Structure 1
Amino acid sequence: MASTAAVPFWRAAGMTYITYSNICANLVRNCLKEPFKAEALNREKVHFSLSKWAGGKPEKPTLRSDTPGV
């Protein structure tokens, strides 16, 4: 039987590692001074494209932009 002392605290708190990592990243970004804070927020943006498939072929893709946490 495994000891609970070896369990990472984020797991013991009921979080996934991704959730813990996102919280830490947001804390670090909020501590930055300008202009570094603005640069970090720009890197946080996510761009992706979606393509619907019809008849076994992709249709024209649409470009999407999403900002996590908004």
Structure 2
Amino acid sequence: MASTSAVSFWRASGMTYITYSNICANLVRKCLKQPHKSEALEREKVYFSLSKWTDGKPQKPTLRSDTPQD
């Protein structure tokens, strides 16, 4: 169980647990030595497709790549 001081820290700063967790994960990835660092940074890329809908039908989807910001 997490201590109440740790929980109140991220809550008091206006963060959700997911945001806090992502910040911690990014710090750990940046501290790794090669080749582990490049492998971890490659895994954090996200790919998704985006479709616009017109008259209730999806249009041609576009493949997007979104990488987290520092």
Q: What TM-score results when the alignment is normalised by the length of structure 2?
A: 0.81
Match of 1:56 in 2: 56
Deviation of 1:53 after TM superposition, in Å, equals: 0.9
**Number of aligned pairs?**
66
Q: 5+ residue gaps in structure 1?
A: none
Deviation of 1:65 after TM superposition, in Å, equals: 0.4
Indicate the RMSD between aligned Cα atoms, in angstroms.
Answer: 1.7
Deviation of 1:15 after TM superposition, in Å, equals: 1.8
% identity of equivalent residues = 76
Match of 2:47 in 1: 47
Match of 1:6 in 2: 4
Deviation of 1:23 after TM superposition, in Å, equals: 1.1
How far, CA to CA, are the matches of 1:59 and 1:14 in structure 2?
38
SS at match of 2:33: coil
Q: 5+ residue gaps in structure 2?
A: none
Q: What TM-score results when the alignment is normalised by the length of structure 1?
A: 0.81
SS at match of 2:20: helix
Match of 1:38 in 2: 38
What amino acid maps onto 2:29 in structure 1? Answer: R
Instruction: Detail structure 1 runs of 4+ shifted over 2 Å in the superposition.
Output: none
SS at match of 1:63: strand
